[in-house]
Amino acid sequence: MHRPARTVKFANPVVDEVRAVRRAISAEFGHDLNKLIDSLGEIEARYRDRLIKPRRTRNRRK
């Protein structure tokens, strides 16, 4: 008979903080991924002059 593996959870304050921030950001956009993506696009457009464009390589597919 196969028994499921036991999951051991360790307290990790860094992981807890990251998860709390992720939940807060998600809530800010009503848990709507499309709204979050739209907002990130607007931020990207606002700071376009600060972004680094990747170099094209010969092996890169279009």
Residue 20 confidence (pLDDT) above 90: yes
Structure tokens at 38: 């739209």
Tens of pLDDT, residue by residue over 43-52, are 999 999 998 8
| Residue 2 CA neighbour count, 13 Å, CB half | 2
Q: 8 with 1: CB under 8 angstroms?
A: no
Contacts of 29 (CB under 8 A, 6+ apart): 35, 36, 39
Residue 18 confidence (pLDDT) above 90: yes
Residue 16 confidence (pLDDT) above 80: yes
Tell me the Cα Rg of the chain: 20
